[in-house]
Structure 1
Amino acid sequence: MTKITPDLLAGIRDRFAHVEECPFTGPRIFFENAGGALTLKSVVETTARFAAIPDNQGRDNPASAALGEIIAKAREDAATFFNAPGGKIFVGESGTELLFRTIADACLGTGPGIVLGSTLEHPASRSAAARWAGVAGKRHVLVPHDDATGTVTAEAYAAHVTPEVRVATILHTSPVTGMGMDLPAIAAAIRAVAPDAVIIVDGIQHACHGGIDIAACDVDGYVISPYKVFSRHGYGLAWASDRLTALPHDSLLNGPAGNWELGTRDTGAYATFSDVVEYFEWLGSALTDAPDPRARIEAAGRAIHDHEAALTRAMLHGTGNLPGLAEMEGVGIVGGVDNPAREGLVSFWVAGRPSPEVVAALSDQGIRVHTRKADHYSGNVLGPLGRADCVRVSLCHYNTEAEVAAFLAAMKRILDRA
Structure 2
Amino acid sequence: MIQDNPALIAAIRDRFAHVDSCPFQGPRIFFENAGGALTLKSVVETSTFYAALPDNPGRFNPAGQGTQKVIDKAKVDLAVFMNTSSGQFFAGESGTELLFRLIRTACTSAPKGTKVIGSSIEHPATRSAARRWTDIAGLSYVNVPHNDETGLVTAEDYAALVTPDVSVATILHASPVSGMAMDVAAISRAIRAVAPDCVIIVDGIQHAAHGQLDLDSYAIDGYAISPYKVFSRHGYGIAWISDKLSAAPHDMLINAPATGWEFGTRDAGAYAAVSDVVAYFEWLGSEVSPATERRERIEAAGGAIHQYERFLIDAMINGTGNLPGLKDLAHVRIIAGADNPAREGLVSIAIDGVASPDVVEALNSQGIRTHTRKADHYSGNVLDPLGLGDCVRVSLCHYNTLQEVAEFLVAIKDIKARRAA
Same fold (TM over 0.5): yes
1:314 and 2:315 aligned: yes
- Tell me if 1:130 matches 2:137: no
Using the TM superposition, give the Cα deviation of residue 256 of structure 1 relative to its aligned residue in structure 2, in angstroms: 2.1
Gaps spanning 5+ residues in structure 2: where?
Answer: none
Please tell me the residue identity of whatever aligns with 1:231. Answer: S
2:44 is equivalent to residue 47 of structure 1 = no
CA distance in 2, matches of 1:3, 1:68: 40
- Cα deviation, 1:3-30, whole Å, max 9, x if unaligned, reads 6621111000000000000110100000
The Cα offsets for residues 124-166 of structure 1, whole Å up to 9 and x where unpaired, read as 0100001111110000111000001000000000001000100
> 1:4·1:303 contact (CA, 8 Å) conserved in 2?
no
Aligned equivalents of 1:123 and 1:98: distance in 2? 13
In structure 2, the residue matched to 1:99 is 99
The residue correspondences of 1:16-415 to structure 2 (distance < 5 A) are 16-112=16-112, 113-415=114-416
User: Following the alignment from structure 1 to structure 2, what is the Cα–Cα distance between the partners of residues 59 and 119?
Assistant: 46
Q: Which runs of 4+ in 1 moved over 6 A?
A: none
Cα distance in 1 for residues equivalent to 2:367 and 2:327: 22
Measure, in 2, the Cα distance between the counterparts of 1:228 and 1:110: 32
Is contact 2:2-2:8 (8 Å) kept? no
> Does the 8 Å CA contact 1:3/1:287 hold for their aligned counterparts?
no
Amino acid at match of 1:90: F
Deviates more, 1:105-114 or 1:408-417: 408-417
SS in 1 for 2:264: coil
Count of aligned pairs? 418
SS in structure 1 opposite 2:295?
Answer: helix
Q: Supply the AA of the counterpart residue of 2:178.
A: T
C-alpha contact 2:2 2:9 (8 A) present in aligned 1: no
| Cα distance between partner residues in 2 of 1:160 and 1:259 | 34
Aligned partners of 1:321, 1:330: CA distance in 2, in Å? 18
Shift, 1:257, TM fit: 2.7
In structure 1, the partner of 2:6 is 6
Q: What is the identity, as a one-letter code, of the residue corresponding to 1:61?
A: N
- 2-side partners of 1:286 and 1:4: how far apart? 13
Amino acid in structure 1 at the alignment position of 2:295: R
Contact kept, 8 Å, 2:354 with 2:416, in 1: the verdict is no
Gaps of 5+ in 1: none
Distance in 2 (CA, whole Å) between partners of 1:367 and 1:218 is 40
Instruction: Say whether the 8 Å CA contact 2:201–2:220 is kept in structure 1.
Output: yes
CA distance in 1, matches of 2:134, 2:209: 30
Supply the distance in 1 between the matched residues of 2:57 and 2:325 (Cα, whole angstroms). 53
Task: Write the letter of the residue equivalent to 2:62.
Answer: P
* C-alpha separation in 1, matches of 2:284 and 2:357: 36
8 Å contact from structure 1 (residues 2, 288) kept in 2:
no
Task: Give the distance between the partners of 2:134 and 2:5, measured in 1 at CA.
Answer: 48
Distance 1:4 1:130, change over 3 A: farther
State the alpha-carbon separation in 1 of the partners of residues 109 and 78 from structure 2: 26
SS of the residue corresponding to residue 45 of structure 2 reads helix
1:96-126 C-alpha deviation (Å, 9 max, x unpaired): 0000000000001121200100000000010
Q: Distance in 2 between matches of 1:295 and 1:21?
A: 33
Maintained 8 Å contact 2:2/2:308:
no
**Distance (whole Å) between structure 2 residues aligned to residue 257 and residue 271 of structure 1:** 26
Q: Which residue type is aligned with residue 345 of structure 2?
A: G
Normalising by structure 2, report the TM-score.
0.98
Change (3 A) 1:196 1:3: farther
What are the Cα deviations for residues 26-73 of structure 1, in whole angstroms up to 9, with x where unaligned? 000000000000000000000000000111023111111111111000
Considering only aligned residues, what root-mean-square deviation do their CA atoms show, in Å?
Answer: 0.9
1:329, distance to aligned residue in structure 2 (A):
1.3
- Quote the Cα distance in structure 1 between the aligned partners of 2:406 and 2:417: 16
- Between the two proteins, what is the percent identity of the paired residues? 65
What is the rounded CA distance, in whole Å, between the counterparts of 1:380 and 1:85 in structure 2? 35
- How big is each residue's C-alpha offset from its partner over 1:314-361, in whole Å with a ceiling of 9 and x where there is no partner? 111111111111101121110000100000100000111111111111
Distance in 2 between the 1:30 and 1:136 partners?
A: 43
Q: Distance in 1 between matches of 2:15 and 2:4?
A: 15
CA distance in 2, matches of 1:42, 1:330: 42
